[in-house]
Amino acid sequence: MITERQQVIYNTYQHSTRTIKNNPYRPRKNFDNLDSTTTLLLQKLDSFFSNNKTVSYRDFFIAPYIIYGKDDYFDLNFFTTRKALKCYTEYVKKRETDNPDSEQVIENCKLACKFIYNYCKVNNISLKDYRVINDGNIPVVLQHLKEHKINFYTLCGLNIDQTLQTLPAELVNFIVDDFFHTLSITRDKFIKSSKLKNVVRQALQIIETKLLQINKPILN
């Protein structure tokens, strides 16, 4: 028998690899007769995701189709290899610098802004605080970038230059690989975008206003 988590991994694999090709998908409900090879592969993937909690199941499974092409086919065994991890890494980097005005990038930025709002609300901090506070010795905004909870385009809207100036460049690049190069590319695209910069700036302004209202002191 496989665990409930492994069932989710299997169905996410099936859903991702079929819908990326616009093929129909139906989730599997009965796993009683799952073959031993597939069971072993799911156990390996379960271990991988447990040790890499920031990796999205869906993103991991669609990555090779984005990098190599949708006409290819990648079985479950492929995703237990180093090549699959390399594809995922390339996919994440590609996604960071995609066309800023594409629907997917705009949607990703909206989700990032939603995450920022919820994080600030739960921790009772302002957007100004979010730009500068640390998680241990690491700026929380960079930690969230590393964990893919926010992205570079959202970072451009936050404008954390003041925070970056206080940190050694080697440390920043250690936290987020190739940080300054990617920031330079995305900042240029962000500034030249016709839609995204307005979406992000407006979203952050709304967040800032809402957080100030929540944290507003009660007058006697």
pLDDT at position 216: 59
Q: What is the pLDDT along the chain (220 residues), one digit of tens a residue?
A: 899 999 999 999 999 999 988 899 999 999 999 999 999 999 999 999 999 888 889 999 999 998 998 888 899 999 999 999 999 989 988 888 999 999 889 988 999 999 999 999 999 999 999 999 988 788 999 999 988 899 999 999 999 988 888 888 888 988 888 899 999 999 999 999 999 999 999 999 999 999 988 765 544 4
At 215 the pLDDT is 63
d(CA 210, CA 181): 33
Confidence (pLDDT) at 150: 93
H/E element, 28: none
Q: How far apart are the first and last CA of the chain?
A: 62
Supply the pLDDT for residue 217: 52
Angle at the Cα of 58 from the Cα atoms of 134 and 175, rounded to 5 degrees: 25
Global pTM value:
0.74
**Domain boundary assignment for the chain:** 4-96, 103-214
In degrees rounded to 5, what are phi and psi of residue 134?
-110, 150
For residue 102, the one-letter residue type is S
Closest CA to 156 of 209, 118, 198: 198
